[in-house]
A and B are shown apart, each in its own frame.
Chain A
């Protein structure tokens, strides 16, 4: 009997706790609350910076509360956001991959930001972003997302290693042939043939497809159409680009097999690789930790210069009350004002997404101090959007698998890309 009363008491207690929980969530209804999911993809104490922006916004917008929620990396963030939407508890806005554009519009979970930009000032704000960044923010001609932390890969080189190898330390390789040539000169072997310094590293475990797009773009081939439903992975020029990437390893100037995206900046900082391809988002990390002078340059050209854009955009979710939607739109505008974009760019290394941000005093001072920061901006005019397909994660995985297979020698570049194209055709046939 005592047992029974004890469990009954427990039950009542639990009930009480549930009620209390319900009450506490009911209290904070006076303010409009914006929950904002954001990923972190580069090094640094970024959570603090984001929290600071949120506080600034709250101070200047009474009645609106912003709750930034760190949600892991990009893939986890879109997973969490979509799960929340399916569970009926969507956040108000999130920073998600620009390349997940079609995934989000196919799931029909986001509101095109252009629909919310009604005043002339709003429209001017929206059209103030770099065209290269808006390229994969549009669906059917309408801007869906606002560029925020956008990036593009650049070539980092170790000037000390260049000097030691008898190369001009201030000159990056201008084209593919030169990069191969420089890399050969920069590769150092000890007496027993072990490599102590590699010429180049283009990481392929993580973001491999993205970096490889830097090669294909320079070789004058587009990997996907603007509608995101037809890929050209096995175009002869694309095959040539993968041949070149694999060739760097077979020539012995790049480590064999896949190299890790996350470990590559460290490999570079440790002096184990003389040149690396990595995101501009790593600039701050490299700048604060490099014990040697380094340069930042364009990705080398083939037919012409070329690079992909990458990174994340602001998306606003569907189904918000008009009041919440307006508050969220204000917040997104606030986060992308030139001053804030400049500040975020300086603190992270991302490429500020609008020309106006580059005109701010803070940014001009920064560029005067760190001229490398402007390289990515100047490269933008040659940049195309990264592979942005319907069912994007799946299509990108097919491409990454192909690059992995070619780099590890289990398939030839041609066979690997043929397979990737076949898989992409299978996935995308429903979207044509």
Chain B
């Protein structure tokens, strides 16, 4: 009797969260999946079943492939670099150095700024005529290239902004984790004759692995989710050089109003992120804990 009551109690407690999750996450996913097999309703032609037509259109759409490639480059660059930078910054501000609070604040500032504001600041950093980078280059007699206006550099500019924005956020997690590492472990290693590099590699980094996994999951999600700055910096241009999946979904869904195709694109993004999450939870999670 008591057991059944506890079960009921547990379910009741979980109910609000479950209702919200089902209502705002699971149900929309199912509807989107359904929509991806339907045509977009038009004035005189209601939505009808088209099978895999939307997916076939996607396979033949060069803009989709361009956006996917860009997104993979974007993820491939932002994830490792922002994590490495975050770790480095955390190690720096975890040590006893003068001006530590000031440095922590400086590293963390980009995180608290809204992405659109950040992008507007960088827009003027990148300006080829009087931007900050141009003025620095002028000191040594060079002029800045048209960073955002040419295909070779535009995507990298967008990546730099994302890293700058994200590294500080991840630093906070590393900093918190570093402070939970018992000092006696480090001292013990030092007594055993381990150098600083060895302590870092053999003691600190393994103990940080759960944090790294958490940060990695967030970084992967962000690499496919953060597009605010693209709106401000390039609008996906020049000629789709900075177009990524989510931006393309926005365009197709809310600028072109092609609901069926947007739903199909969304399913592809969801499937990719779902696969990444499964891999992380079921494969990496077993390996990160220090035994």
Contact = CB atoms under 8 A, between A and B. Distances in A.
A408 B149 contact: yes
Interface string A400-418: 1110110110110000000
Interface in A60-90: 75, 79, 82-83
A92 interface: no
Nearest to A393: B255
B13 interface: yes
A83 B235 contact: no
A410 B43 contact: no
Contacts of A7: 12-13, 16
A31 interface: no
A394 interface: yes
Interface string A242-277: 000000000000011111101100010010110000
Interface residues of A, number: 44
Contacts of B69: none
A13 to B, nearest CB: 13
A376 to B, nearest CB: 26
Interface stretch (B126-134, B212-220, B274-282): B126-134
Nearest to B243: A401
A75 B143 contact: no
B4 interface: no
A270 B130 contact: yes
A92 B229 CA distance: 32
Nearest to B141: A192
Contact of B237 (A263, A393, A394, A401): A401
Contacts of B256: 391, 393-394, 397
Given A205-B235, A258-B238, A405-B238, A270 B12 contact: no
Nearest to B144: A194
B9 A404 contact: no
Nearest to B254: A79
B238 A404 contact: yes
B128 A397 contact: no
A168 interface: no
B134 to A, nearest CB: 10
B84 interface: no
A21 interface: no
A23 interface: no
A205 B42 contact: no
Contacts of B141: 192, 194
Contacts of A369: none
Contacts of B238: 204-205, 257-258, 404-405, 407-408
Contacts of A195: 143
B290 interface: no
Contacts of A402: 239
Contact of A401 (B128, B149, B239, B258): B239
A257 B43 contact: no
A206 interface: yes
B39 to A, nearest CB: 11
B150 A258 contact: yes
Given A75-B255, A205-B234, A258 B148 contact: yes
B146 A256 contact: yes
A410 B239 contact: yes
A323 interface: no
A3 interface: yes
A107 interface: yes
Contacts of B16: 7
B11 interface: no
Contacts of A263: 123-124, 127
A260 B141 CA distance: 24
Contact of B9 (A4, A106, A259): A4
Interface of B: 9, 12-13, 16, 42-43, 123-124, 127-130, 138, 141-143, 146, 148-151, 234-235, 237-241, 251, 254-258
25 contacts: A4-B12, A79-B255, A108-B43, A192-B141, A194-B143, A195-B143, A198-B129, A255-B129, A256-B146, A258-B237, A259-B146, A260-B123, A260-B149, A262-B123, A267-B127, A270-B129, A393-B255, A394-B255, A394-B258, A404-B237, A404-B241, A408-B151, A408-B238, A408-B241, A411-B239
Given A257-B238, A258-B146, 16 more contacts: A106-B43, A192-B141, A195-B143, A205-B148, A258-B238, A260-B148, A262-B123, A263-B124, A267-B129, A270-B130, A272-B130, A391-B256, A393-B255, A400-B237, A404-B239, A411-B239
Interface of A: 3-4, 7, 75, 79, 82-83, 103, 106-108, 192, 194-195, 198, 204-206, 255-260, 262-263, 267, 270, 272-273, 391, 393-394, 397, 400-402, 404-405, 407-408, 410-411, 430
The 10 closest A-B pairs by CB, nearest first: A257-B149, A404-B238, A258-B149, A404-B239, A257-B150, A272-B129, A405-B239, A257-B146, A79-B254, A194-B143
